[in-house]
Amino acid sequence: MTWDRRLTAAANFIRGRDDFLVVSHVQPDGDAISSTVATAWLLDKLGKKYAMYNDGPVPSRLGYLWNSGAIATASTGLPQKAYRNVIMVDCADFARAGGARDWFAEGAEILNIDHHPTNDGFGLVNLLRFEAAATAEILFDLIRTFNLPFDADSATAVYTGLLTDTGGFRYSNTSAAVMNIASRMLNAGADGPGLADRLLERMTMGQMKMIQRALPRLAFSDDQRIGWLWVTTDDLSETGAKSEDLEGLVNYPRNIEGVEVGILFKQIGSDAVKVSLRSAGLVDVAAVSQQFGGGGHVRAAGCRLSAPLEEAIRQVVDATRKALEEAG
Ligand SMILES: [Mn+2]
């Protein structure tokens, strides 16, 4: 099916229904929240009823996004009912919606909008484009399908998704198409320098405290092509840092000259570890993550292990070492 026909199918899903639940993934990032509110903006402009829900809270640094305060979470208030019409954005698989799935009605019909190459097309209608830098890039196309002009709210949302998923227009997914859309969003009222300052430059105290703790632990494989850091549940509780304060930490090992894969291990329980992997390009870290039931992109992926921290480090570093040997 051509991209235009997929867009039409997604548009028809929205046109033919009303009363939607819009959800993204657990521990939502910039693209997840941006895509959620951009979808809500579209539904709002079409006069549709909708609710937004997320398994986790909206990171405070994204609180400026239009209507982000209306995204319900377990702590701020639950939806009033289960929904038959669901739009899932930026979710690599069905389970990524986490606890939000409790609000899907039996036999709910799903519009699946995503850019993760590991997405298996779990929706009734799937609007998937793996070359897209961000789900927000796909939403740009979807909004245009309805011939709706962008305003500052929707432009800021789409721009934010692009900015965050391209690491500030720096990663290899920063295509000409991305810059073209970003340019249009600036014309429509997105504040480029303001968003860059807020999302790329500014650092919370929690973030700095976690950097202080994590950097002395920086470890390398013998050939120094794999570098990793870890943080414990105690680090978070003792510094008062939040989970969102760990964003970007994995880039420290990854950015070192000669390092092919950077890894961050985050202990989330005595036998549970969340792992983020970043590749310089040689190793497909999505494939490494899939060995542990995770997924993601070639250069940025993640997984969870039910193991003590030291055991998780050993297993993932070993798997990465093998992938690196195979890649040459
Ligand atoms: Mn994304």
Q: Per residue in 144-178, pLDDT tens?
A: 999 999 999 999 999 999 999 999 999 889 999 99
Task: Using the mean position of ligand 1's atoms as its centre, give its distance from the Cα of residue 166 in Å.
Answer: 9
User: What distance in angstroms lies between residue 216's CA and the mean position of ligand 1's atoms?
Assistant: 30
Instruction: Report CA(109)–ligand 1 centroid distance (Å).
Output: 22
| Ligand 1 midpoint to CA 91 (Å) | 8
320's CB contacts (< 8 A; 6+ apart) are 226, 261, 263, 277, 283, 285, 288
Q: How far is the CA of 165 from the centre of ligand 1 (A)?
A: 6
Tell me, in angstroms, the distance from the centre of ligand 1 to residue 90's CA.
5
pLDDT at 47 over 80: yes
Separation of CA 133 and ligand 1 centre (Å): 7
Query: Is it the case that residue 66 has pLDDT exceeding 90?
Result: yes
% of residues, the chain, pLDDT over 70: 100
The secondary structure of the chain, three-state, reads CCHHHHHHHHHHHHHCCCCEEEECCCCCCHHHHHHHHHHHHHHHHCCCCEEEECCCCCCHHHCCCCCHHHEECCCCCCCCCCEEEEEEECCCCHHHHHHHHHHEEEEEEEEEEECCCCCCCCCCEEEECCCCCCHHHHHHHHHHHCCCCCCHHHHHHHHHHHHHHCCCCCCCCCCHHHHHHHHHHHHCCCCHHHHHHHHHHCCCHHHHHHHHHHHHHCEECCCCCEEEEEECHHHHHHHCCCHHHHCCCCHHHHCCCCCCEEEEEEEEECCEEEEEEEECCCCCHHHHHHCCCCEECCCEEEEEECCCHHHHHHHHHHHHHHHHHHHC
Residue 4: band (very low, low, confident or very high) from pLDDT cuts 50, 70, 90: very high
How many Å lie between the centroid of ligand 1 and the Cα of residue 32?
6
Q: What is the pLDDT of residue 78?
A: 78
pLDDT at 277: 98
| Dist. CA 149 → ligand 1 center (Å) | 23
Roughly how many angstroms between the first and final C-alpha of the chain, as a whole number?
36
Cα of 83 from ligand 1 centre, angstroms: 24
Distance CA 162, CA 183 (A): 11
Q: How far apart are CA 281 and CA 284, in angstroms?
A: 7
- CA of 164 relative to ligand 1 center, distance in Å: 8
| Ligand 1 centroid, distance to 121 Cα (angstroms) | 16
φ, ψ dihedrals at 21, nearest 5°: -110, 125
**135 CA from centroid of ligand 1 (Å):** 5
pLDDT at 180 over 80: yes
84 Cα to the center of ligand 1, angstroms: 25
Q: Alpha-carbon distance 180 to 294, whole Å?
A: 32
Q: Using CA atoms, how far apart are residues 244 and 301, in angstroms rounded to an integer?
A: 16
Return all residues near 184 (Cβ < 8 A) that are at least 6 apart: 140, 150, 155
Query: Do β-strands 300-305 and 295-296 pair in parallel, antiparallel, or remain unpaired?
Result: antiparallel
Residue 76 pLDDT level (bands cut at 50, 70, 90): confident
Going from the Cα of 294 to the center of ligand 1, the distance in angstroms, rounded, reads 15
Question: What pLDDT score does 9 carry?
Answer: 98
**What structural domains and CATH numbers belong to the chain?**
3-201 (3.90.1640.10), 207-327 (3.10.310.30)
Q: What is the mean pLDDT of the chain?
A: 96
Tell whether the model's pLDDT for residue 328 goes beyond 90: no
Query: How close is the Cα of 145 to the center of ligand 1, in Å?
Result: 21
Q: Is the pLDDT of residue 128 over 90?
A: yes
The confidence score (pLDDT) of residue 58 equals: 94
**Residues 209, 210, 215, 216, CA torsion sign:** positive
Look up residue 275 and give its two tokens. 């792992």
Say what the pLDDT of residue 160 is: 98
- Beta carbons of 56 and 26 less than 8 angstroms apart: yes
For 228-259, write each residue's pLDDT tens digit.
999 999 999 999 999 889 988 999 999 999 99
Distance CA 290, CA 284 (A): 10
pLDDT above 90: residue 79: no
Q: Is the pLDDT of residue 1 over 90?
A: no
Could you give the count of Cα atoms lying within 13 Å of 187 in the half-sphere of its Cβ? 8
pTM across the whole model = 0.84
Banded pLDDT at 210 (limits 50, 70, 90): very high
Q: Do the Cβ atoms of 51 and 72 come closer than 8 Å?
A: yes
Cα 136 to ligand 1 centre (Å): 8
